[in-house]
Amino acid sequence: MEENFMRVLVMFDMPTGTKLERKASAKFRQRLLKEGFFMMQFSVYCRICKGIASANSYMNKIESFVPQKGHVRALILTEKQFDRMRIFVGYKSATEEAQAPVQLSVL
């Protein structure tokens, strides 16, 4: 039986009012990165998994290191569902336009 690729999407809000809260938030983000997640947007991380068993394993891992005051939502998506995501961009900031890639040319 062929396993399908899945995505685990993690969205969270963490309080950052105190130094301890900021430290807990940073530690949570670092742990997500250590577990192979990448940042899609601020407070939205994603990881690809091979099959539902692997995705559920990562869900359990996330649950084990959620900060006490954190609010975390995690979702398992099939690759097909993830591919149907639509991205809407309002306007480009001056820094985004300034960072546009430059076309290389051979002399």
Domain chopping of the chain, boundaries: 5-86
Q: Give the model confidence (pLDDT) of 63-79 as tens digits.
A: 999 999 989 999 999 99
Q: Is the pTM of this model over 0.75?
A: yes
Per-residue HEC secondary structure of the chain comes to: CCCCEEEEEEEEECCCCCHHHHHHHHHHHHHHHHCCCEEEECCEEEEEEECHHHHHHHHHHHHHCCCCCCEEEEEEEEHHHHHCCCCCCCCCCHHHHHCCCCCCCCC
Q: What is the mean pLDDT of the chain?
A: 90
**What CATH number is given for 5-86 in this structure?**
3.30.70.240
